[in-house]
Amino acid sequence: MSDRQEIEKTVRRLIEPFNKKGVALTDSTTFAGDLEWDSLTVMDFVAAVEDEFDIIITMNMQAEIETVGQLVDAVGRLKG
């Protein structure tokens, strides 16, 4: 598996506990729209992703990340 696939798999695993409606995930699934997450859910989820990969996703960066695919790419860059 490539690095990106590896990250994607982990991100999807981290999304599951917050995916209350069982939405099918693709790269273009949006957190606010499709998953209907509120700001508190986003906060908990981001903390889980940060701890899993030992990175920081600043709120400034979070504002630019709307989809699962964008998050996977951002994690890849931050892990550098």
Which residues of the chain form contacts with other proteins (CB under 8 A)? 38-40, 43, 46-47, 50-51, 54-56, 58-60
CB of 44 to other proteins, least distance (A): 9
Q: Cα separations (Å) of 7 from 21, 47, 53?
A: 23, 16, 9
Using the minimum distance from each CB to other proteins, give the nearer residue, 25 or 55.
Answer: 55
Using the minimum distance from each CB to other proteins, give the nearer residue, 35 or 69.
Answer: 35
| Cα gap 76→42, rounded to integer Å | 19
Using the minimum distance from each CB to other proteins, give the nearer residue, 27 or 36.
Answer: 36
